C-alpha cells in the first residue's frame, strides 16, 4: 500500500508509484466537487494474485492495482472525469495487451471508459474513473488466430479437393 496526502490544489502533475504501477494525474487535475484547500489522500494497493473473479476464465497477466482518493478521511467517488488519469502497469505487455477494470456493479472485468496503449514497454491505461485495474491478453488476438486457422483449413480443403 502506498499513500500520499496533500491539498486538493496540488494533485495536478502528481505521480504516485508503488513498484507495480504508477498513477499519473495531468497538470490542472482536480477532483470534481472538492474544495482546493481540502486535504486529499491518494492510495494504491497492489495485489499479486487476483482478488476478483476471472474474465471468461482468464486472470490478469500481472498484478491487479487499485487506486483511491479520499477527502478528509472519506473515500471520494472518482468517475466521469473530463481529464483522464494515466495508470501505468508494470509487466511484459504485448501488442495484444489490454487494460481492464473491475466493475463492482457487474462483478466483472470491463474496458468501458478505458483506453490502452503500450508506451516504451509499459502498459498505459487512460481512464476517467478509479477502481482496480489489470492487464489482460486481448481476446481479439485469440479470435484473429482462430480466423487464421479456419482460413488455412479452408485453403487446405480446397487444395486437396
Residue-wise pLDDT tens digits, 8-60: 888 889 898 888 899 999 988 888 888 888 889 998 899 988 999 888 888 88
Please write the tens of the pLDDT for every residue from 126-139. Answer: 999 999 999 998 76
pLDDT value at position 158?
43
pLDDT value at position 106?
92
Q: Residue 141 — pLDDT band, cuts 50, 70, 90?
A: very low
DSSP structural state of residue 138: -
Backbone angles phi, psi at 128, to 5 degrees: -105, 15
Q: Residue 140 — pLDDT band, cuts 50, 70, 90?
A: low
- The three-class DSSP label of residue 66 is strand
Q: Is 75:68 a contact under the CB 8 Å cutoff?
A: yes
Closest by alpha carbon to 40, among 53, 23, 56, 63?
23
The reported pTM is: 0.79
Amino acid at each position: 500500500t502506498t499513500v500520499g496526502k496533500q491539498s486538493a490544489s496540488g494533485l495536478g502533475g502528481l505521480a504516485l508509484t508503488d513498484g507495480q504501477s504508477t498513477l499519473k494525474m495531468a497538470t490542472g487535475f482536480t477532483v470534481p466537487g472538492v474544495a482546493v484547500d481540502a486535504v486529499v489522500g491518494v492510495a494504491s494497493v497492489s495485489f499479486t494474485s487476483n482478488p476478483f473473479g476471472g474474465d471468461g476464465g482468464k486472470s490478469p497477466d500481472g498484478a491487479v492495482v487499485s487506486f483511491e482518493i479520499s477527502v478528509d478521511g472519506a473515500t471520494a467517488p472518482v468517475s466521469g472525469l473530463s481529464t483522464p488519469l494515466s495508470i501505468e502497469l508494470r509487466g511484459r505487455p504485448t501488442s495484444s495487451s489490454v487494460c481492464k477494470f473491475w466493475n463492482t456493479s457487474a462483478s466483472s472485468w470491463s474496458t468501458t471508459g478505458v483506453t490502452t496503449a503500450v508506451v516504451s514497454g509499459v502498459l498505459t491505461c487512460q481512464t476517467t474513473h478509479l477502481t482496480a485495474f489489470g492487464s489482460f491478453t486481448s481476446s481479439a488476438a485469440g479470435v484473429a488466430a482462430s480466423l487464421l486457422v479456419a482460413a488455412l483449413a479452408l485453403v487446405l480443403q480446397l487444395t486437396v479437393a
